[in-house]
Structure 1
Amino acid sequence: MIDTHAHLYDDIFTLDIETNINQIIEAGINEVWLPNCDVETLESLLKLSTSYPNICKPMIGLHPTYVKTDYLDQLAILKSYLDKSKFLAIGEIGLDYYWDVTYRKEQIDAFETQCQWALDKNIWVDIHCRKAYADIISILSNKEFSQLTGIIHCFSGDASEATRLTQLGYSLGIGGVITYKNTNLFESIKHIDLKYLVLETDSPYLTPVPFRGKTNHPQYIKLIAQKLADLFEVQVGEIIKITTGNALKFKAFSNFQ
């Protein structure tokens, strides 16, 4: 199994990283992909991916909620790292209008800039989208980004948005939300071919049932796989096989080991 999105460099994990890595291995997880947030998180992310290169795969990017007045300086520093090191993807990047729209224009500029980085480096994008699907789809539909591909992390859109994004060549990251009673997520994805789905935990956030309310952990990813298996009425092994294969295609796209 591959957890395509987990903040394993968070202090809650790094304070006892050896134990957490062992739990990941024991749970049958082969890899954990690490999305970056900003310049400050990058050093701890890189330390982890350097210490455990076979398991932890690094991304680089500026998260939309970290886009403030200094975003151009942040981007310049991140770009300098991108130019001297190998990364799996540009992420997590995107648009977030849920908390604040003060920096909406800057978020869009940062997103488009980082999408261009991905094109220049021939790697994919890991996209954060919250209350911004219309703008995300509009940008990704632009001809200049027609060769771009990636994962919509923690997909939360409706059925039409799921269809449009997969038509554009993007996969949908499915996490703990799929296990919640009050979610409409399955209604949004039930018509989507399984070849467009990947598993993620977004640890330490969005813990799946029955551990909701506690710290999330990559080892809980099988709960997400099992819920998908139940909803799509297939064996959990089939979900794991398909989603792992889907994730590996992104590694191949970026030519990342």
Structure 2
Amino acid sequence: MFLIDSHAHIYAEAFRQDQAEVLAKAEAEGVQKIYMPNIDHTSIDVMLETEARHPELCLPMMGLHPTSVQKEFEKELYLVEEWLSKRKFAAVGECGIDLYWDKTFLPQQQEALRVQVALAKKYHLPLVLHTRDSFEEAYEIVAAEQDGTLTGVFHCFTGSVEQAVKVTELGFMIGIGGVATFKNGGLDLLLPHVKLEDLLLETDCPYLAPVPFRGKRNQPAYLSFVASRVAELMQKPLEEVAAITTRNALRLFKSVS
């Protein structure tokens, strides 16, 4: 049984001391690819160094995380486009809007998202969208720009069935992570009503570790706990969940798969 972690910050400081061991454990648990979202200029080098050490396993994206959008965000976006023009990446991301921590820079976040949507079109890459407390704001921008060429995933999705329908009708995937295992995560109300063909699995490590590791450092090896919970809630065999979500990820990230 193979799994793909469609969203993992495996290059983060939390893995500095034991990254190789963590990746070896992930492979032992059947994780065959790990897609790494970028944050901003501070994460590029360490992310690409991780790729260089594990080129078949760890595949980078290029984008600007909404929490890194400040007044002078244009400089960050110039760097994003410079990198996109130089080499292949799996996706533009992670990008989007985050209104959980701070609403001060919402206009800048909206503009940064529009720019990255345009970059996704220009370079024929999927979008990996972060929409914490901001689903409608992010959806509105992407929907307005959808011309039939945009693809991507609303990562760490915790929305309603109605919002999930909007995502899939837009032609995007739904990213499911450790929240699916949380007692009050809400995904027990969603997953019985969506199709496996619309799902990607993710850890978002080192964050959002699934039960029974909740509150601890998350890692790609724990993806099997997410897959098992999805299988339980959707009343599907675990092997089917693994096979279909793996196929979905390879299809979405086809530029580097």
* TM-score interval, normalised by the smaller of the two chains: over 0.9
| One-letter amino acid of the structure 2 residue matched with residue 137 of structure 1 | Y
Out of 88, 97, 107, the position equivalent to 2:109 is: 107
The normalised TM-score by structure 1 is 0.96
Contact kept? 2:117, 2:145, Cα under 8 Å = no
Count of residues in Structure 1 that have an aligned counterpart in Structure 2: 255
Partner residue in 1 for 2:79: 77
Partner residue in 1 for 2:165: 163
Query: Hey, what's the Cα distance between the residues in 2 that align with 1:165 and 1:36?
Result: 22
Partner residue in 2 for 1:241: 243
| One-letter amino acid of the structure 2 residue matched with residue 228 of structure 1 | V
Displacement after TM superposition at 1:14 (Å): 2.7
The normalised TM-score by structure 2 is 0.96
Identity %: 37
Displacement after TM superposition at 1:188 (Å): 2.6
Q: How does 1:143-182 map to 2 (within 5 A)?
A: 143=145, 145-182=147-184
Unaligned runs of 5+ in 2: none
| One-letter amino acid of the structure 2 residue matched with residue 241 of structure 1 | A
Secondary structure, counterpart of 1:117 in structure 2: helix
Displacement after TM superposition at 1:134 (Å): 1.3
C-alpha offsets along residues 100-154 of structure 1, whole Å, 9 cap, x if unaligned? 1100000000001001101000110100001111122211221555421101110
Contact kept? 2:154, 2:173, Cα under 8 Å = yes
| One-letter amino acid of the structure 2 residue matched with residue 256 of structure 1 | V
Unaligned runs of 5+ in 1: none
Contact kept? 2:191, 2:233, Cα under 8 Å = no
Partner residue in 2 for 1:256: 256
Contact kept? 1:140, 1:146, Cα under 8 Å = no
Q: How does 1:42-57 map to 2 (within 5 A)?
A: 42-57=44-59
Question: Which portions of structure 1, spanning 4 or more consecutive aligned residues, are displaced by more than 3 angstroms?
Answer: 143-146
Structure showing greater relative contact order (alpha-carbon pairs closer than 8 Å, 6 or more residues apart): 2
| One-letter amino acid of the structure 1 residue matched with residue 243 of structure 2 | K
Partner residue in 2 for 1:63: 65
Query: Hey, what's the Cα distance between the residues in 2 that align with 1:189 and 1:87?
Result: 30
Secondary structure, counterpart of 1:114 in structure 2: helix
Secondary structure, counterpart of 1:241 in structure 2: helix
Secondary structure, counterpart of 2:131 in structure 1: strand
Secondary structure, counterpart of 1:222 in structure 2: helix
